[in-house]
Amino acid sequence: MTDTDKLQILLQLGQEISKEKSLDTALIKISQYARDLIDADRSSIFLYDSQSNELWTKVAHGIDGEIRFPSNKGVAGYAFLSQDVQVVVDAYEDFRFNKEIDKETKYQTNDILAVPLINSKNICFGVFQAINKHNGTFNSDDVKMMTLLSTLVSSALETSSLIESLEYSKRKIIYKLSSAAEFKDEDTSKHTQRVGLYCELIAKEYGLNAKEVKLLKIAAPMHDVGKIGIADKILLKPGRLDFDEFNKMKEHSQMGYDILKDDDDIQLQMAATIALEHHEKFNGYGYPRGLKGEEISIYARMTSIADVFDALTSERPYKKPWSIERTVELLKQEKNEHFDGKLVDIFLNNLDEIKRIKEKLKD
């Protein structure tokens, strides 16, 4: 393979990786390209597990399942500890080689090229390894190529870690803001979290795809974010609201939508719709727009059931909690009136799991 061929392949890899949203798929592609570019039989990506002090296979050609071994063992272990490239010409004659892996995988290793994975903080967090070059042994050009590709691996993993961290932080902010909006006190209740988990359960059983289920689990807790704009004297009134107070309370749906609607984030777009529509009723007599049946977003219809069930079975400043039995009877009575009947059936068919969630996250 000429240098021009390699350059074209690298450009193609770069284009594919830039469009890839799945970390696992991206790493598999990088590993496959590495294997082909340096003419190796297999390549693997090992990551460091700090809790067990082991290296484990994130990606490994020809291996089913996961391989783990002490981080100070084998050629990969030497690369990890030394943070330096390791080249082995004859594995079974080299003291660095760990024969146990071949025994486990029933594979014959001849030569090895192992490159440490270094992050932007100059910390080694894994090893990129190739084994059994088809023609000859691994050379300096192969080392350069693997070192170059290792930067792609490091970048992909760091980006994924950052995204996960941001998603976690965003979820925490969402739950705190939603709880504060509901009770003006983030520590008062776990209502919003339970609503998210109830909706996740309904959505899975209904057949929404995995992405929608994940988004709904995080978006549903924001259903009452608009209550942050409602005066405490109304929100925390220890009794029934009068006509004017109730009309003012109803404004929280539009307020929530207005808070969330301008964001380009698909998660917040879903949350905005839920905030606006979760008090609509299946029979068309809800608010704020009097939507009917499937005019109401499926996400809002799910959230409506989860919200009402949890609100009724929880203590509020103005009421004692209802029993689950009494609440179930109300859900049955309101099938195809307040609530989507099909979704009520799904909810009640999974009542045991609903109870477990409520018990696990009780106030």
Helix (H, G, I), strand (E, B) or coil at 91: helix
Query: Looking at residues 97-120, what average pLDDT do you find?
Result: 89
Is 50's pLDDT higher than 50?
A: yes
Query: Looking at residues 260-268, what average pLDDT do you find?
Result: 76
Which of 128-132, 175-179, 302-306 is predicted with the least confidence, judged by mean pLDDT? 175-179
Helix (H, G, I), strand (E, B) or coil at 110: coil
Burial class (CB in 10 A: 0-12, 13-18, 19+), 181: buried
Is 163's pLDDT higher than 60?
A: no
Is 359's pLDDT higher than 90?
A: yes
More confident residue, 352 or 175: 352
Confidence at residue 186, expressed as pLDDT on a 0 to 100 scale: 46
What are the C-alpha distances in Å from 269 to residues 18, 187, 279, 304, 305? 25, 26, 17, 17, 20
Is 297's pLDDT higher than 90?
A: yes
More confident residue, 264 or 31: 31
Is 79's pLDDT higher than 90?
A: yes
Q: Give pTM, 2 decimals.
A: 0.57
Mean pLDDT, rounded, of the chain: 86
Please answer whether residues 143 and 87 qualify as being in contact, where contact means their C-beta atoms are separated by less than 8 angstroms. Answer: yes
- DSSP for 189-242 reads --HHHHHHHHHHHHHHHHT--HHHHHHHHHHGGGTTGGGGGS-HHHHT-SS---
Q: Facing residues of 49 across strands?
A: 54
Query: Looking at residues 265-289, what average pLDDT do you find?
Result: 93
Residue 34 — pLDDT band, cuts 50, 70, 90?
A: confident
Name the residues annotated as catalytic.
Answer: 227
